[in-house]
Amino acid sequence: MKIEVFPTHLRFADGDRENHQHNAPLGSIVEPLRNQLLTASNSALFTPADYSEGNANVTLLDYRYLVSSSSSSSAITPTTTQTTTSLHLVPSIVEFEMKPTDASVCHGILEIVHREEDPQIRQQLLKSLADIEARILVATHPDLCLDPSPSVEREATIAAYNSSKYKAAIQTSPGISARVASSDGPTSRTKAELRSRHNSGDIPKGLMNGDGDLARLMLVNDPHRGGAGADARGKGESAAGAMVSSSSAPTAGNGFRPRFARLEFIEEYRKRKRVFDSEIMLGLDTRRQKQKTDKKIMQSTEPEYMALNGMKVIRTVRFEQVLKHGTIFTILNIVETGTPDEYEAILRVGNEQGNANGPYGTTLRYPVGNITAVDNYLGYFKSFYTLNNKMTGVLVTVTNPVGGAAANGGTTVQGTL
């Protein structure tokens, strides 16, 4: 089927010379045409010659970009002049296939069934047409992908683990309540009892010893524990008994024991980070702000401030953002790393000026590069960060880069750019 599309109307070229508006009663047909779907409402527009392998062939002649505004405005009521003019234009031709939807296929089958008056023949016809519909769906829809998906396998593994983690046979011991051996799994009371006895080191040696699923799940390969080369401390711990052990596991004779060294390291790191974030980070403009109130800062004789283990600050940028629950302060320092012509950036965000306290408090430290990279980075950073923050100034100190400081913008001592 051919469809001619103009700026103000469309026309079906297969013998129909009537013009239809885009928002006219044909609006329900135009939308499926745009989506290339063959619905029950527009299937009657096609003739049997328009169908091929279950799909309807459509040729779209687009005159919207060729017809002038004057001719397109008068195209609502076609005349002989406009028809003659449109014949000399070369439209943009688009050919596509309209695929039937499930609703249109079902509608066509039901229409064929309802034409039959005999109820018995209607039932037989419905079964036959259902088989035809199934074949149409197989022919027109893409093949199903039955390859295993990693997400499906992961969900199946989690479900299998959760359903079988308490099904392993647990060997009882005189020191453990008989409820531990029940098939329903350990209760909250027995879990607490096992946890307390495990922390105190009073677990019997034969507890949960076997080749069950739980034993295989809990075992880990620790080369520092077990074997002939185990130290006296490892032997003493294995003699005290293990939570899980298996003769077939790589750590035979020594079971799974959690070690809390990593947890202690994390807690220590968090403590040091909280102390570091609560300290005020100095910048180039700190002396000018604190000159009247803090006499300790006046003891410095250099125009540049030494911050963070003696690293010299050469740039300081400050921002602030006013929110409903308070003001967020941001300070960005560019410091020397000790390597010639290499600099780092220290970014700190917090609810107070200079520190990283508050729910949004954080401190980032990362390398930037040479002095040219510093200038380029600050330009991009300011253009991005000032989208929702107010900049309160850029402080620059004297630097001695290769090629002269004037070429790189580092010529002012505690000046504001």
- Which pairs count as long-range contacts for 128-136, CB under 8 Å and 24+ apart, including other chains? 133/105, 133/106, 133/109, 136/54, 136/100, 136/105
Per-residue pLDDT of 179-222, as tens digits, reads 444 444 555 555 555 555 544 444 444 444 444 444 444 444 44
**362: pLDDT strictly greater than 80:** yes
The pLDDT tens digits for 112-137 are: 777 777 778 778 887 887 787 778 77
pLDDT digits (tens, 9 = 90+) for 308-324: 556 788 888 999 998 88
Label residues 18-36 b or e (16+ Cβ within 10 Å = b).
Answer: ebbeeeeebeebbebbeee
What tokens does 397 get?
A: 């100190």
Query: Rounded to an integer, what distance in angstroms lies between the CA atom of residue 322 and that of residue 326?
Result: 6
Pairing relationship of beta strands 92-100 and 37-38 according to DSSP bridges: parallel
Beta bridge partners of 347: 332, 364
pLDDT of residue 344: 92
Question: Which DSSP state fits 354?
Answer: T
Averaged pLDDT score across all residues of the chain = 66
Counting beta carbons within 10 angstroms of the beta carbon of residue 57, is it exposed (0 to 12), middle (13 to 18) or buried (19 or more)?
A: middle
Q: What is the pLDDT of residue 42?
A: 66
pLDDT on residue 368: 93
Q: Which residue has the tokens 């039959």?
A: 116
User: What is the four-CA torsion angle of 149, 155, 160, 163, rounded to 10 degrees?
Assistant: -160
Q: In this predicted model, which residue has the larger pLDDT, 17 or 373?
A: 373
Q: Token digits for 355?
A: 């520190």
Q: What are phi and psi of 92, to 5 degrees?
A: -85, 120
pLDDT for the residue 106: 75
